[in-house]
Structure formats: structure tokens, C-alpha cells
Amino acid sequence: MGMRNFIDKIKPTFSKGGKLSFLHSTFEGFETFLYVPNTVTKKGAHIRDCNDIKRVMIMVVLALVPALLFGMWNVGYFAGRVGFDAFWFGFLEVLPMIIVSYGVGLSIEFAFAQKRGHEINEGFLVTGLLIPMIMPVGVPLWIVGLSTAFAVIIGKEVFGGTGMNVFNPALLARAFAFFAYTPQMSGEKVWYAVDGMTGATALDYMSQPGATMEGFSVCDAFLGTIPGCVGETSTLAILLGAALLLFTGVASWRIMLSVFVGGLAFGYLFDITGWTEYPAYYHLLVGGFAFGAVFMATDPVTSAQTNTGKWIYGFMIGALAVSVRVLNPAYPEGMMLAILFMNALAPLIDYFVVDRSIARRKKLIKNVK
Amino acid sequence: MSKNIKLRKGLDIQLVGAAEAVVEQAPMAKSYAVSPLDYENVTPKLLVKVGDKVEAGSALFFDKNNPRILFTSPVSGVVSAINRGEKRKLLNVAIEPDQQQVYKELPVVNPQKAERSEIVEMLLQSGLWTRIVERPYGVIANPELKPKAIFVSAFDSAPLAPDYNFVLKEERAAIEMGFAVLARLTDGKVHLSARKGDEGYMKEIKGVEYRTFEGKHPAGNVGIQIHHIDRIAKGDIVWTVAIQDVALIGRLVMGGKLDMTKIIAVAGSEAQKPCYKRIIAGAAVESIIGKVAGNVRIISGNVLTGVKTEADGYLAAGADMLTLIPEGDKYELLGWAMPRMHRFSVSRAYFSWLCPQKKYNLDTNLNGGERPFVVTGLYEEYLPMDVYVAYLLKAILVKDLDKMENLGIYEVLPEDLALCEFVDPSKIEMQQIVRDGINLMIKES
């Protein structure tokens, strides 16, 4: 255990009173990453489940991998490459975005943890990967960095850090970039990694009056060979991730299912009332719907926390996302706004659900009298 | 057809080292102790000093908040030490036992004929009153009050817990007498709940409202049972008594003296010979398990709710078992990324779900660092109550008394949330939070 000895040797330097004690949290973050600490239970249950937040977060990162790998390949594919060459091209395009997002976000997280004397939270491992995946590949890196900083500071740290935030930080980053730098975040160029190529996304088509979706095959949309943000295009790859999240119980199946149900229900409603000319399930395949439903809506911190609340919360996200897409041509994509809006409403939904339990408890008092 | 309540939620943690169904007589300990720390909210006032001779049943100290509540010696002998901690806080009163036990004469009455006040006095004088727990809050029952009902759970569903049908095999007469005493303490019902399919003679006990429960731990927790039988509303007072203490009460009436002999389980992977031991309450741990070698956690009670003790410590008043498990003060390289086949998790992010029958040897490692509340919907799966765990805990953390009341602080004790604490990936000290919340409620009321 040479490594362990080395860590034990340098530990005093970073501990209280040591020369580098101002880097205590950072050191601890790396140490606990390498070694599960030797802390033993003091109070309460003497034995503990071996699951921890690190494991939970790493499961989400693993679940993101299929969509990420496909997204890289897709970037290359739309740049005119084929096979592994396409993947390698996309990899080189997307990697800098990931590096910038992790670099900026983790620096801020470490600084805040240090200042507060907290342990580093693992939440950003997920957020930092989500941010590049929901950006168009053509977005300048400085926007990725700036929006990450905004999301971490304004979205998370001002509320007290992981577990305390109201809005999903990754979506907040995208919303920031979308509204602050609209020209760089939309239009027909941003979906391509090479200059000179343009093309509308499926959502842009759908937002046109009388769109019939003939330009996009269902098969393309399901497999993901359509333009769009890096991680969002392949419904298949996203479903692979969803399978892992659901199997391990990391994400709530209630939320995931109800988002799809809400989207389908409203898509169907618009279809039969003649607002749209394409079947409802198109909504689920194109744009960020599936990605949002699987990876964003299910964020346990910003979603509804009660089981009943999760059904309502999810259904409303699906319904709102489709409504925004159909009713407001100015915003072809409604998923981001729907989730952020429901993030804000989630505590209210929970309030009413918990209130029912409180009412049952209060009723006991009357029964006695 | 008796009533049965089936609970779906919960978890049975399978551990190695279950006690074999053999009772061994433990030798007389060198020392016995009574500690006020085994009870909540007791301010002790001493009645003895070092060197005093006491009989089994002699009062050692009383509770200043309620001077009628006496704490008595389980054995006769000489007060050998009065141990104090910081700020002279009383830790325990230790007694060196006589070779030949002498019992104090106690005012024993016939529960069928005596006045209720005489029965109460008998229990107070004997010290067995301290074994009656009052809810809300889980404190020693207030002798001035009359409870709405009394609840007794005839089984313990915690990991490696003693099998009371075995422990109390020969105590039927005492159990019956004990219930006769309890019946006089309330105008309401005395509820007795046994485990379905493992009822023993409990189903034949007279004068109680009998029920069975089926399901995983914490089905045996009396608090869970109360929630499903007759929930505690604001203003309600109910009492609970552990099943082995019912036998002690019965024995007091039948024998006219305080006989604190009981059978406990010695269990856990580090126990040299997991089996049952006949001991006297408050015995020194060493007299029960001998010398313990290696890096071992000795728990007075079960692995979820017990109290950490040492080889030179004493068995806690309410404990019916000693559990010995390995300490987990070791580093684990990239543990959170490993398959961890030898560890247990309810999450399918690990592989325990593949072998549901496997018995585990778990150590005391926290398996991670403490984090804020992140996961949702998990805790409620391990608490079969209409309680939103995270909401209640957050209300306690911000000291919001109204919310605590609304969210169910009257219905829970720390032990009921032990499983939630076990499964929590954020490693939050839930039992301590609940205890702090309860103490705050007591202080403010």
C-alpha cells in the first residue's frame, strides 16, 4: 500500500495547522475519491449500507455514457465523416467542452467547499457532464465556461450547495446560455461542427405551421442520426441509460414514466384537435424530450420528493414541454423551460401531498374527542 | 380468528452469528451497574455512597424530575464505585455482589385485588417502574398519569435479535401475571402483538387484545405496531413494556422479591460462541463474554439501535442481547467503484440483490462521507408509517416545533428510523436527529 503510506505522509500538511491547510477540502476530496475513509459509525446504527452518494452519482455518469458516445459519433457523422473517424472527430470536438465544464465547475465547487469547510460534493460529476451534452456542438467554449459558472454559483452555491438547490444546475446553464447568447445557441449553424454547414433540427421543422415531419424518419429520430445537442439525439442510447438508472433505482421510475405519459397525452390531444399534423410519439423522439425525461426531470434534489408528487410533477413536465413546442413557435424546444418551471413548482406540489398526511394525523385528534 | 396485520415495507438484514438455541449460565459478575444514561431525560439524585451495603431491590438513586421513580440494585452487595464523567455527570453506580444474594422486602400486592395506586407503588418501589416506557418521547412513564392503552411486542425483528419464544419458554406463569398487572394500569386495552407463524403461547394469554404482525423488520418495533393498531394523536399517552420486562414484573408479584435474572442473546460474527446466556441485569460485559480479542465493536443491544460498550462496560438496562461485530476502521481503495461482493446494499448499484439469502459479516465502517439529503423516496420504503421521513428530519433540524408535531414526532422514536439510517447513502445521523427533536419537544412543553 505504497499509495496509502504516501497519503498518510502528506496528510498532516493539509490538515489543520499544516502549511497547505487552506487546501484541506480539496485534499480530502481526492483522498476520499481514492480511498473510502476509515470512519466508523459513532451514533445510531452500527452497520451501514455500503451505498453512498459517490456510487449514486457514478451510476448516473455511467448511464450518460451511451448517449455521450453516440453524440460524439453523431457530431462527426454530420461533419461528413464515417465509422470510427466520425467518432474520433466528434470526440475531439466534444472533449474540450467537457474539459471546460468540469474545469470551471469543479474549481468553483472546490473553492466553495474550502471556504465553508465542507467535504466536496459529488453532484457536479453529473452536472459537469450534462452541461456539454445539452449544448449544441458549435457553441463557443467561453459560453460553456460562463454558463457553467453561472449555474454553479447562482444555481447551486448561493442556495447552500448540493442538495439545497431549487433548479437543476445543468439546465440552468443551458437556460443562461440560451437567453444570454441566443444567436450562438440557436439558428441553423450551431448543430454542426464544421463551418458552412447548416440545417434545421427536427424541432425547427415541427414548429412550422402545418409541419408533417416527412423530412425526418422515425427511425432516424429513434437511433439519433438527426442534428441536435450533443447528447440528446439518440433516443435509443438514452433508453440504455434509462434502463441502468431504473434498474439500480437511482432515478425515479414514477417521474420518468409520467413525463412520457404527459408528453404523449398532450401530443395526442394536439394531434386529434388538429393543431399538429404528426403523431404524438414524435415528440418523444425528437429534441431534448427523452434526454430531459431520463436525466434532468429525475434529478432527486430539484424534483418532487413525495411519490404522489412525482406523478404530478412528471406529468406536468411532459404536458408543458409539448404545449410549449406546439403553441409557441418562438421556442421550438419546450423541455428545458418545462423542467425548470416544474422545478420551481415541485416544492408546492410536495407541500400539498405532505399536507394530506398532516391532515390524516390531525383527524386522529378529533376521533378521540 | 385472530387479527393479523401485514407490513410490506422494511428490511431483514441477514447477518452471520445468530445465537444458537442453547442457554448457558453466566458466572456471577465481579460487578453490576445501574446507569441513568440508559434512560432518557433522567436527572439522577443519589441515595447511596461508596461502601454502603445494598440488597437486591434497594434504591440507588431517584429521578429529580419525578422523585417517585426509583432506580434499584439488581443484586445485593456493596456499592463499589460511583462513576462520574465530565461535569460530575453520574455515569453509573457499580455494586460488588454478595456471594449469597439477599433480597429487599417489597410491598407486593395481588394485582386482582389491590388498588391501582398500590400496584403503582409496588412497581415504583421495586424499580421495575423504570421499565415502563411512555410515548410520545420514549421516556420513563409518569406514575401520575393513566395511559390510553399499553402495548407489548412479543417479538424482536432486529438483526440477530433473541427469539423470545425460546427465551421465555419457562416463564409463562410470570408473563401471565405480568399482563395481569399491566391490565390494572390502564382503563384502555393492553395490546399484545406476536409474529405470525411464531406465536408460541402468546396467543393463549388472557386479558389482552391479541394480534399478529407479519413482515420484515421493523415489524417487531412496538412503535410501528402502535401506528397500525391505534395511532398516537396529540395529547395521547400510551405506555409500552418490553416482553421480557413483563416477565420480570410477573416474577416480582409471584416471588415477592426483585429477581432480575434474564436470558440474553450473545450474537454477531465476532462472538466466540453465539448462544443464549442467563445473567442478572446490569452485569459487567466481561462476565458474559469473557475477554475479547481483536478489533471488535461490542454492542449492548442490536446492531441498529444498540449502544457501543467496552469489555469493561456493563449491559444496558433495556438490552436483551450483546452483539459483537468487527470494527471497520480500514481504508478501502476506490471502494465506491468496486463490486463489493462481501458488503450489503439495498441498492441494485451493488450486487446483494443477486443472493437474497446470503448472510453478511458487516463491519462498522460508515461506507462513505456525510452528505446533505439527496435521494428521495428511499427512506419511506423502510418505515411502515404514514411519516415523511426527510420532511420530519428537516423540521427537527430547523427546530420548527409545529412542523415536528404535524409531521409525526409523537409517533416515532429513534429506533423506528434506524433502518432509514442504515440505508441512507447520505449517511445522516437520523436517530440522533430524532432524539434531539424529542428532547427539544420535552424542553419546550
* Model pTM above 0.80: yes
Closest to B3 in 3D by CA, of B298, B259, B212:
B212
* Alpha carbons A355 and A135: distance in angstroms, whole number: 39
- CB contact at 8 A, B282 and B260: yes
Say whether pLDDT at A201 is over 90: no
Chain A residues within 8 A of B367 when measuring between CB atoms: 36, 48-52
Instruction: Show the cell assigned to A332.
Output: 421550438
Q: Which pLDDT belongs to residue A200?
A: 64
* Alpha carbons B285 and B298: distance in angstroms, whole number: 9
Closest to A117 in 3D by CA, of A18, A188, A15:
A15
Q: Which of B349, B374, B418 lies closest to A248 in CB terms?
A: B349
> A193 pLDDT band (50/70/90 cuts)?
low
Say whether pLDDT at A213 is over 60: no
Q: Which pLDDT belongs to residue A352?
A: 95
Q: Which pLDDT belongs to residue B177?
A: 96
Distance from CA of A227 to the nearest CA of B (A): 33
| Paired residues of B407 in beta bridges | none
Instruction: List Cβ neighbours of B431 (8 Å cut-off, separation of 6 or more).
Output: A43, A44, A45, B305, B414, B415, B417, B418, B421
> Quick one: B81 exposed, middle or buried, by C-beta within 10 A (0-12, 13-18, 19+)?
middle
Chain A residues within 8 A of B347 when measuring between CB atoms: 49, 51, 55-56, 248-250
Q: Which pLDDT belongs to residue A96?
A: 93
Q: Which pLDDT belongs to residue A215?
A: 61
Looking at every residue in chain B, the average pLDDT score rounds to: 93
* Alpha carbons A138 and B168: distance in angstroms, whole number: 75
Q: Chain A residue closest to B148 (CA)?
A: A368
- CB contact at 8 A, B387 and B412: yes
> Quick one: A123 exposed, middle or buried, by C-beta within 10 A (0-12, 13-18, 19+)?
buried
Distance from CA of A336 to the nearest CA of B (A): 22
Q: Which pLDDT belongs to residue A181?
A: 86
Q: What is the mean pLDDT of residues A152-169?
A: 88
Residue B80's H or E segment, with its range, is: strand B77-84
Q: Chain A residue closest to B232 (CA)?
A: A364
Q: Which of B343, B347, B364 lies closest to A40 in CB terms?
A: B364
* Alpha carbons B345 and B347: distance in angstroms, whole number: 5
* Alpha carbons A343 and A165: distance in angstroms, whole number: 10
CATH 2.40.160 fits domain B4-15+107-255: no
The residue with cell 399534423 is A277
* Alpha carbons A191 and A186: distance in angstroms, whole number: 8
Q: Chain A residue closest to B337 (CA)?
A: A55
> CB count, 10 Å around CB of B130?
24
The residue with cell 384502555 is B188
In the sheet that B32-34 helps form, which strands lie side by side, from edge to edge? Answer: B32-34, B90-97, B77-84, B53-54
Q: Which of A1, A34, A36 to mutate to test the interface with B (most CBs of B within 10 A)?
A: A36
Per the CB < 8 Å rule, is B233 touching A119?
A: no
Question: How far out from the chain centre does Cα B398 lie?
Answer: 28
Chain A residues within 8 A of B308 when measuring between CB atoms: 42, 46
Q: What is the mean pLDDT of residues A351-367?
A: 87
> A8 pLDDT band (50/70/90 cuts)?
confident
Q: Which of B332, B350, B374 lies closest to A163 in CB terms?
A: B374
Q: What is the mean pLDDT of residues A287-309?
A: 92
Distance from CA of B306 to the nearest CA of A (A): 8
Distance from CA of A352 to the nearest CA of B (A): 13
The residue with cell 440477530 is B160
Q: Which of B11, B298, B347, B350 to mutate to test the interface with A (most CBs of A within 10 A)?
A: B347
Domain boundaries, chain B: 4-15+107-255, 379-444
Chain B residues within 8 A of A4 when measuring between CB atoms: 331, 333
Cα dihedral B319, B325, B330, B336, rounded to 10, equals -90
Per the CB < 8 Å rule, is A39 touching B327?
A: no
Q: Which of A34, A48, A59 lies closest to B334 in CB terms?
A: A34
Distance from CA of A38 to the nearest CA of B (A): 4
Residue A347's H or E segment, with its range, is: helix A335-368
The residue with cell 448516473 is A60
Q: Which of A46, A53, A364 lies closest to B299 in CB terms?
A: A46
Distance from CA of A366 to the nearest CA of B (A): 9
Note if the bond before B136 is cis, omega within 30 degrees. yes
Per the CB < 8 Å rule, is A119 touching B371?
A: yes
Q: What is the mean pLDDT of residues A240-245?
A: 95
Chain A residues within 8 A of B323 when measuring between CB atoms: 46
* Alpha carbons A76 and A225: distance in angstroms, whole number: 11
N- to C-terminal Cα distance for chain A?
68
Q: Which pLDDT belongs to residue A45?
A: 93
Q: Which of B13, B336, B370 lies closest to A36 in CB terms?
A: B336
pLDDT values of chain B reduced to their tens digit, one per residue, 445 residues: 469 999 999 999 999 999 999 999 999 999 999 999 999 999 999 999 999 999 999 999 999 999 999 999 999 999 999 999 999 999 999 999 999 999 999 989 999 999 999 999 999 999 999 999 999 999 999 999 999 999 999 999 999 999 999 999 999 999 999 999 999 999 999 999 999 999 999 999 999 999 999 999 999 999 999 999 999 999 999 999 999 999 999 999 999 999 999 999 999 999 999 999 999 999 999 999 988 888 999 999 999 999 999 988 999 998 999 999 999 888 888 877 777 778 888 888 888 888 888 899 999 988 888 888 888 889 999 999 999 999 999 999 999 999 999 999 999 999 999 999 999 999 999 999 999 999 999 998 8
Per the CB < 8 Å rule, is B418 touching A44?
A: yes
| Paired residues of A73 in beta bridges | none
Q: Which pLDDT belongs to residue A369?
A: 45
Q: Which of B336, B363, B422 lies closest to A55 in CB terms?
A: B336
Q: Which of B337, B344, B376 lies closest to A305 in CB terms?
A: B376
Q: Chain B residue closest to A245 (CA)?
A: B349
Q: Please name the amino acid found at residue A158.
A: V
Chain A residues within 8 A of B344 when measuring between CB atoms: 49-50
Q: What share of chain B is helix, strand, coil (3-state, %, to 5)?
A: 25, 25, 50
Give the side-chain half-sphere CA count within 13 A for A79: 25
Distance from CA of A54 to the nearest CA of B (A): 6
Closest to B244 in 3D by CA, of B229, B265, B230, B223:
B265
3-class secondary structure, B59? strand
- The sign one gets for the Cα dihedral A338, A341, A346, A349 is negative
Q: Chain B residue closest to A165 (CA)?
A: B374
Exposure string over B419-433, b if 16+ CB within 10 A, otherwise e: bbbbbbbbbbbbbeb
Distance from CA of B8 to the nearest CA of A (A): 16
Instruction: Show the cell assigned to B443.
Output: 424542553
Chain B residues within 8 A of A41 when measuring between CB atoms: 364-366
Query: For chains A and B, what is the number of CB pairs under 8 angstroms?
Result: 220
Distance from CA of A31 to the nearest CA of B (A): 10
Per the CB < 8 Å rule, is B304 touching A357?
A: no
Per the CB < 8 Å rule, is A360 touching B386?
A: yes
Chain A residues within 8 A of B316 when measuring between CB atoms: none
Q: Which pLDDT belongs to residue A328?
A: 81
> A196 pLDDT band (50/70/90 cuts)?
low
Q: Chain A residue closest to B299 (CA)?
A: A46
Q: What is the mean pLDDT of residues A273-292?
A: 85
Say whether pLDDT at A85 is over 60: yes
Q: Which pLDDT belongs to residue B353?
A: 84
Determine which of A180-184, A351-355, B147-151, B248-252 has the lowest per-residue pLDDT on average. Answer: A180-184
The residue with cell 445473567 is B279
Per the CB < 8 Å rule, is A46 touching B333?
A: no
Per the CB < 8 Å rule, is A162 touching B231?
A: no
Say whether pLDDT at A292 is over 70: yes
Exposure string over B137-146, b if 16+ CB within 10 A, otherwise e: bbbbbbbeee
Per the CB < 8 Å rule, is A123 touching B374?
A: yes
Instruction: List Cβ neighbours of A237 (8 Å cut-off, separation of 6 or more).
Output: A66, A67, A69, A70, A71, A224
Note if the bond before B218 is cis, omega within 30 degrees. yes
Instruction: Show the cell assigned to B405.
Output: 408535531
Name the packing angle between helices A141-150 and A83-116 (round to 10°): 30
Per the CB < 8 Å rule, is A54 touching B364?
A: no
Q: Please name the amino acid found at residue B374.
A: V
Distance from CA of A35 to the nearest CA of B (A): 4
Q: What share of chain A is helix, strand, coil (3-state, %, to 5)?
A: 65, 0, 35
Chain B residues within 8 A of A119 when measuring between CB atoms: 369-371
Per-residue pLDDT tens digits for A243-253: 999 999 899 99
Q: Which of A50, A58, A310 lies closest to B343 in CB terms?
A: A50
Say whether pLDDT at A366 is over 70: no
> A348 pLDDT band (50/70/90 cuts)?
very high
| Paired residues of B298 in beta bridges | B309, B324
Q: Which pLDDT belongs to residue A151?
A: 92
Per the CB < 8 Å rule, is A36 touching B380?
A: no
Say whether pLDDT at A278 is over 90: no
Per-residue pLDDT tens digits for A26-49: 777 777 777 778 788 888 899 999
The residue with cell 438547490 is A165
